[in-house]
Amino acid sequence: MPQKRYIDLRSDTVTRPSPGMRKAIFEAEVGDDVLGDDPTVKRLEIMVATLLGKEEAVYVPSGTMGNQVALKSLTSPGEEVILDVGSHIYNNEAGAASALSGLQLHPIKGERGILSSVQILQEIRPLNIHHPQTALVVLENTHNSAGGTIYPLEVIQDVHKVAKEHNLKMHLDGARLWNASVATGIPLKEYAKYFDSVSVCLSKGLGAPIGSVVSGNPEFIKRARRNRKMFGGGMRQVGIIAAAGIYAVENNIERLADDHKNAKILAEALAKLEGINIDMETVQTNMVIFEIKDEKKDAFWLVEKLKENDILTLASGKKKMRLVTHLDVNEEDIQKTIEVFERVFKQ
């Protein structure tokens, strides 16, 4: 029996490999990656490092591992990391920075996820034996919980200047950096050049089933490979899934513009509904975050109503929801979703 098809707006992580990607997986040449013998992994690492303008890269199973490998490779236990209060590392990585690397996270509330250089400068610790030493600044581009917002390049440049003046390292959680680059036309390497390490994800908008890549200079990557092994990320004949990553990078970056267009269409329609509030300034890439204004309705009610109409969503709070467009959602799906929303909110 054919599997029932839902319009799945829960996340861009729900994408499934296309026939072309499955063919690449089937035909992948493999070796033992821990021993450095997997040619497909090597090709993927070189490809991503080149796109980011970095010397080397290392393939990891997930975005969380990519971020945590980078944090451990750039810091020492007892040091402090400055980042946004809504960042993925602070909220969605199971406390790994403290558990695995002995780090103290210092969250600051940014504007739609964006921290200014002035904010960061104010929070850098003066040298004092009583304080943890500030060692690292983390930025997230695009910013997940803020709705896929894009870090302005000029802000990154200002933050880099402050970090350099205070001898701080910088890491970019660029899980969806591809989206920022496509939306702005700014090359990936132009964003990446201001950071000591950059992690990018292959299993979100690019549609691969698994994997992220962390890039930096050779000394950093040498430490990163050891820390990847320590965290359990050393994999063997992993070219099978790295091939999916290569296919994703070669075929699915430019098409992210379709996801951005669909998100904008969806947001503009939902903004017209009486019971929904959307900050349209946050709809910059492939996410739509909104609040339900109706006192008698909440996000959990809406999730169930939408599921009854074959649309899958997630509540991100009692009154808050996030919808994410991706390569498995087309314009026809968006129009159907709009019709269902209009019908549900008229009931």
Q: What is the DSSP string of 119-183?
A: HHHHHSPPS-TTSPPEEEEEEESSBTTTTSBPPPHHHHHHHHHHHHHTT-EEEEEETTHHHHHHH
User: In 10 A of CB 343, how many CB atoms?
Assistant: 11
Both 228 and 270 in one domain: the answer is no
pLDDT of residue 296: 82
- pLDDT, one tens digit per residue, over 89-124 is 999 999 999 999 999 999 999 999 999 999 999 999
Q: Any idea what the CATH number is for the domain that residue 309 is in?
A: 3.90.1150.10
pLDDT band at residue 294 using 50, 70 and 90 as cut-offs? confident
Residue 195 lies in a domain: yes
Number of domains forming the structure of the chain: 2
Residue 3 lies in a domain: no
Mean per-residue pLDDT, 137-147: 96
347-to-113, 151, 199, 271, 274 alpha-carbon distances in Å: 35, 39, 45, 17, 12
Residue 323 lies in a domain: yes
134-to-103, 122, 124 alpha-carbon distances in Å: 10, 12, 6
Residue 323 is part of which domain span? 255-346
Both 242 and 298 in one domain: the answer is no
Residue 6 lies in a domain: no
Both 98 and 231 in one domain: the answer is yes
Both 177 and 317 in one domain: the answer is no
Residue 1 lies in a domain: no
pLDDT of residue 2 exceeding 70, the answer is no
pLDDT band at residue 1 using 50, 70 and 90 as cut-offs? low
Both 34 and 133 in one domain: the answer is yes
Residue 148 lies in a domain: yes
pLDDT of residue 183: 98
Q: Any idea what the CATH number is for the domain that residue 145 is in?
A: 3.40.640.10
Give the residue with greater pLDDT, 155 vs 275.
Answer: 155
Both 45 and 174 in one domain: the answer is yes
Length of the chain: 347
Both 340 and 229 in one domain: the answer is no
Both 237 and 263 in one domain: the answer is no
> What span, in angstroms and rounded, lies between the C-alpha atoms of 203 and 27?
20
Q: Which of 251, 270, 304 is the last residue of a domain?
A: 251
The pTM of the full predicted model, rounded to 2 decimals, is 0.95
Residue 107 lies in a domain: yes
> What span, in angstroms and rounded, lies between the C-alpha atoms of 327 and 21?
13
Per-residue three-class SS string for 14-49? HCCCCHHHHHHHHCCCCCCCCCCCCHHHHHHHHHHH
Name residue 321's amino acid: M
pLDDT of residue 4 exceeding 80, the answer is no
Q: Which of 251, 282, 298 is the last residue of a domain?
A: 251
Mean per-residue pLDDT, 27-42: 94
Over the chain, what is the mean pLDDT?
96
169-to-105, 156, 297 alpha-carbon distances in Å: 14, 13, 45
Residue 112 lies in a domain: yes
Both 312 and 241 in one domain: the answer is no
- pLDDT, one tens digit per residue, over 201-256 is 999 999 999 999 999 999 999 999 999 999 999 999 999 999 999 999 999 999 99
pLDDT of residue 190 exceeding 60, the answer is yes
Both 245 and 273 in one domain: the answer is no
